[in-house]
Chains A and B, each alone.
Chain A
């Protein structure tokens, strides 16, 4: 019985065996409904159990399975093989991050930067429980909702040439997350966050290439978030010069 197969060219890096990364080619059975992650699982289960990679929900909400597929940062659980069949599929670790092993990258830099931007509601004083909840109108939720959809998959960091060239850059997801909290009507920490975002390696390093927005699987649109944060920061700076005695948030 002849079966349709597809070639998978997978990047390997096993420092205990070889100092340099190399490519292993596998042939997996192909079905129209298979995604790249299915192929990787097939390889690990039946062909080569030594292959290392991250994945979890397999439905595009956890952000674990980000990898380079044919040179573009994609979620492997949401990338169908039929997009490429019958041509071979090249799978590499997410670009711009140090590679620990095979397709697994070091996320430390990203995780540290997430914390730097203070991604939580900052309040000058908490309301006592008896006074009830913080209420938000639908318009107030709409203001930040898009930027709250980030699943931390880091595809935007792979697409961003500024981050690739200068890893000190805070990066698209982190800045979008900062803006998400700045726009939240319950939050009172804009000044603190603007200190973090307004440094040279924060919003100002971005040159609006826009690729982060293109690759985002959740339509967060981080490049818009960054530019709007630049507008807001510049406006605030101008107002603080022109109206120095007016109270600022």
Chain B
């Protein structure tokens, strides 16, 4: 708590709580959303490790694949997947909120924009999966 001297009266300036982001539902969901970025970065790191393994030859690569199959590692990836899906859901909602889509004079409702983004995600995932697995 600190006091600020004004012209005639001391104003009361409360201390800002350090744990503000834990105090309400919306703030907690906001903090969760921001934390997903750490899991996204973690995946970038893991993908980089994958590429290092590829660059070091067959043995290193196949060792890396065996590591990927360990239950503990799969559990970590499961957590990353949940985080990344939460990022995707919140990112689409935010995008629909910012980007007003117009067809002529009519405005496309937000839920339709989100559905469109989700549909695009499904399409992108199918295309990536095709190239990743079967191409």
Contact with B along A95-121 (1 / 0, CB 8 A): 010111100001000000000000000
- A223 CA / B24 CA spacing, docked (Å): 19
- A139 CA / B16 CA spacing, docked (Å): 43
| Interface pair B27/A161, CB less than 8 Å apart | yes
Closest to B93 in A: A210
Chain B residues bordering chain A, tally (CB within 8 A)? 21
B51: min CB distance to chain A, Å: 30
Q: Indicate if A185 sits at the interface (CB-CB under 8 A).
A: no
Chain A residues bordering chain B, tally (CB within 8 A)? 26
Known: A98-B4, A161-B21, A165-B16. A15 touches B9 (CB 8 A): yes
Q: Indicate if B103 sits at the interface (CB-CB under 8 A).
A: no
| Interface pair A161/B12, CB less than 8 Å apart | no
A205: min CB distance to chain B, Å: 14
Contact with A along B1-39 (1 / 0, CB 8 A): 100101001111110100011001011001000100000
- A20 CA / B13 CA spacing, docked (Å): 11
Give the chain B neighbours of A165 by CB distance below 8 A: 16, 20
| Interface pair A224/B97, CB less than 8 Å apart | yes
Contact of B12 among A71, A99, A208, A227 (CB under 8 A): A99
B35: min CB distance to chain A, Å: 13
Q: Indicate if B94 sits at the interface (CB-CB under 8 A).
A: yes
| Interface pair A227/B98, CB less than 8 Å apart | yes
- List A residues 108-155 near B (Cβ within 8 Å): 139
Contact of A211 among B6, B14, B26 (CB under 8 A): B26
Known: A207-B34, A231-B98. A214 touches B26 (CB 8 A): yes
| Interface pair A98/B26, CB less than 8 Å apart | no
- List A residues 214-249 near B (Cβ within 8 Å): 214, 223-224, 227-228, 231
A29: min CB distance to chain B, Å: 31
Closest to B105 in A: A139
Known: A98-B4, A208-B94, A224-B98. A21 touches B12 (CB 8 A): yes
- A228 CA / B27 CA spacing, docked (Å): 22
Closest to A166 in B: B16
Q: Indicate if A198 sits at the interface (CB-CB under 8 A).
A: no
Q: Indicate if A164 sits at the interface (CB-CB under 8 A).
A: yes
A101, A210, A223: residue with the most chain B Cβ atoms closer than 10 Å: A210
Give the chain A neighbours of B16 by CB distance below 8 A: 96, 164-165
Contact of B9 among A100, A161, A228 (CB under 8 A): A100
| Interface pair A100/B97, CB less than 8 Å apart | no
Closest to A142 in B: B105
| Interface pair A209/B26, CB less than 8 Å apart | yes
Q: Indicate if A157 sits at the interface (CB-CB under 8 A).
A: no
- List A residues 7-30 near B (Cβ within 8 Å): 13, 15, 20-21
Give the chain B neighbours of A209 by CB distance below 8 A: 26-27, 30
Contact of A98 among B11, B20, B21, B24 (CB under 8 A): B11
| Interface pair A101/B20, CB less than 8 Å apart | no
Closest to B26 in A: A211
- A67 CA / B44 CA spacing, docked (Å): 45
Taking A99-B12, A99-B14, A231-B98 as known contacts, 10 extra A-B pairs with beta carbons closer than 8 A to each other, sorted by chain A number, are A98-B11, A99-B13, A100-B6, A100-B9, A106-B11, A139-B105, A161-B21, A207-B30, A209-B30, A210-B97
